[in-house]
Amino acid sequence: MKFVVRLFPEVMVKSKSVRQRFTRLLETNVRNVLKRVDEQVKVRNLWDRLEVSAPGNGLAKRAALIDALSHIPGIANFSPCDDLPWQSLDEIATQVAAYWAPRIGNRSFCVRVRRMQQCTTSSLDIERYVGGRLNELCPEARVQLKQPELTVRLDVDKEKFALLHEQYPGLGGFPLASQEDVMVLLSGGYDSAVAAWQLIKRGSRVHYCFFNIGGPDHQSGVQRIACHLWQKYGSSHRVKFVAVPFEPVVNAIVEQVDPGQMGVVFKRLMMKVAGRMADRQKIDALVTGEAVGQVASQTLTNLRIIDAATDHIILRPLIAADKQEIIDLGKRIGTASMSESLPEYCSVISRSPTVRAVRSRIEAEEAKIDPALLDAAVRNAMTMDLRDLAAAEQGPRAEPEIVASLPPDAVVVDIRSPEEQEAQPLVLAVAVESIPFFQLERRFPTLAADRNYYLYCDRGVMSRLHALLLTERGFANVKVYRP
């Protein structure tokens, strides 16, 4: 089987040297990805297009190749094709009609020909001849040159021509690694995953930095998102996943920083640590999923103060996007369903947040945080190859027990943020203990060991993750309360 692959238009208009570099990169990327489908795949670089060929005609292999090609950055579109010989226009028309006449039916169509350099017959003559033959054989159809329902495409050379079948859309953008590497701050929410995809599509090799304040199950969920993005859109290159233990820093922020300033201070400290992690990979740019005005820390005033925390350029590809647009794009690229099951911890570390922070006050609040905490976070960060994460076999994990009713001696632990607890106090007929999620791992061991504890949060997601964390720490007296 064979495919003709068209380059993204922005690649085609580059200067000769840049275009050569981009097409060579795309050729290599396509080969690296498709060899996972079939080791015998061959890729030819023909300057204005690529030709991909693989032995056999199995439907399963064809579907796998189509799926892989549709997710490789730098491809405008591609078509399966047949290479056929010709010596006369009648021979071309006869072979084209054998394939297309049964498929046209009563629909509108046109014929488009790309003539190779060695072909002396004009494209217009071939189009007219083939179109006339199809018009004779399909009396209910009609020729329509603008916006036809079907387009019959041919690539004609001197002694053979490629009869292109249906056309599939490519991902577009630039070939991977045609732009510099970036590091995405991946939280597990809709926004950062979509932002990562935007940079992959634009040709950057994307590495991931995850700030863990939710335990191993939260990290596992975020790793799944990173693995999906890499396997689907960027598997032609090696990328890193960095996990930074950030819970001690969050505890210090909550205990020492003025509540209204916490959100901005938290983001600045993340940028400082992310910048140090990026330096290890020799990366100049950080990427976030922030959109202007979406939350309090994302006003222009606050973003400017956050930017000042690092010398690295901070890219925000979603800066003007609406939330629903981001969610819709997350569904399209396959990350939304995973993001739905994970809480965005970053969004809950604030109480009555300021929307117009003052830099001097933010820096004064930030100075309360011991720099040794940031040094420890950097020192204890784990850097992993996404290939290893994707290949690792993860066995089933025991799910915590979830209950809707409580025994009289139950103790419910409200793990919501202080702001949420103040806004909607939890009033029950049993004992209620207030321990925000970012203090839970530290404070839970101090609770009486002979009682059963039922973790509570609004959606039941965060309580489940932390119940798993405590169970893995050896506590058997933890359940989830989900009324």
Q: Which residues are catalytic?
A: 457
Quote the crossing angle between the two packed helices 16-34 and 59-69, to the nearest 10°: 140
Is there a contact between 170 and 6 (Cβ–Cβ < 8 Å)? yes
The yes-or-no verdict on residue 349 having pLDDT over 80 is no
The yes-or-no verdict on residue 397 having pLDDT over 70 is no
The yes-or-no verdict on residue 375 having pLDDT over 80 is yes
pLDDT for 213: 85
pLDDT in tens, 251-299: 899 889 998 899 999 999 999 999 999 999 999 999 999 999 888 888 9
Superfamily of domain 182-391: HUPs (3.40.50.620)
Q: Beta partners for 151?
A: 110
pLDDT in tens, 11-65: 999 999 999 999 999 999 999 999 989 999 999 998 889 999 999 888 889 999 9
Q: How confident is the model at residue 142 (pLDDT cuts 50, 70, 90)?
A: very high
pLDDT for 354: 87
Tell me which DSSP letter residue 49 carries. E
Q: How far is residue 127's CA from residue 113's CA, in Å, rounded to a whole number?
A: 6
Quote the Cα angle for 354-374-290, to 5°.
40
Q: Could you give the residue range(s) of every CATH 3.30.2130.30 domain in the chain?
A: 2-169
Q: How far is residue 73's CA from residue 30's CA, in Å, rounded to a whole number?
A: 9
Q: Tell me which of 3.40.50.620, 3.40.710.10, 3.40.50.720, 3.40.250.10 is the CATH number of domain 402-481.
A: 3.40.250.10
Rounded to 10 degrees, the C-alpha dihedral 251/257/260/263 comes to -50
Strands (E), 415-481: 431-434, 453-456, 478-481
Q: How far is residue 28's CA from residue 41's CA, in Å, rounded to a whole number?
A: 12
pLDDT for 347: 54
Rounded to the nearest 5°, which phi and psi values hold at 466? -80, -25
Residues with Cβ within 8 Å of residue 308, at least 6 apart in sequence? 268, 359
At residue 211, what is the residue type?
Answer: F
CATH code of the domain made up of 2-169 = 3.30.2130.30
Q: Could you give the residue range(s) of every CATH 3.40.50.620 domain in the chain?
A: 182-391
Instruction: Indicate yes or no: pTM above 0.75.
Output: yes
Say how many C-beta atoms besides its own lie within 10 A of residue 84's C-beta. Answer: 16
Among candidate residues 164, 95, 78, 153, the one with its CA nearest the CA of residue 123: 153
pLDDT for 345: 61
Q: How confident is the model at residue 343 (pLDDT cuts 50, 70, 90)?
A: low
- Joined together, the tokens standing for residue 208 give 């991931």
Terminal alpha carbon distance of the chain: 56
Is there a contact between 41 and 27 (Cβ–Cβ < 8 Å)? no
Q: Could you give the residue range(s) of every CATH 3.40.250.10 domain in the chain?
A: 402-481
pLDDT for 344: 62
